[in-house]
Amino acid sequence: MRQTVTVDIINEKAINLLMDMERLELISLRKNWDDSSAANNGNVGKYKGGMQKQSIELVDKQLDELRGGWE
């Protein structure tokens, strides 16, 4: 089972602990320490403005209509 988790480091000691876990082959680290949001920057520009803000009620109504189409 492989899962991806994003972690915000608030204490430098955590990096050493993560590296120790990587050496024990418990986890795999992606080493882009310089910019924590580097992986997301490309997607933000690509999809920005793709959806408009809507009220929860409107979204619920649309979901109910879509679900009704399957019945």
pTM of the model: 0.42
Which of 24, 27, 20 has its CA nearest to residue 5? 27
Q: What is the structure's pLDDT at 71? A: 61
Does residue 56 belong to any structural domain of this protein? no
For residue 69, tell me if it sits in a domain: no
- Residue 54 belongs to a domain: no
In this predicted model, what pLDDT tens digit does every residue of 21-66 receive, in sequence order? 999 999 998 876 555 555 556 666 666 677 778 889 999 999 998 9
- In a domain, residue 68? The reply is no
Q: What distance in Å separates the CA atoms of residue 3 and residue 5, rounded to the nearest whole number?
A: 7
Q: Which two tokens stand for residue 9?
A: 């480091």
Q: Does any domain span residue 8?
A: yes
Domain count, the chain: 1
Cα–Cα distance, 48 to 46 (Å, whole number) = 6
d(CA 55, CA 62): 11
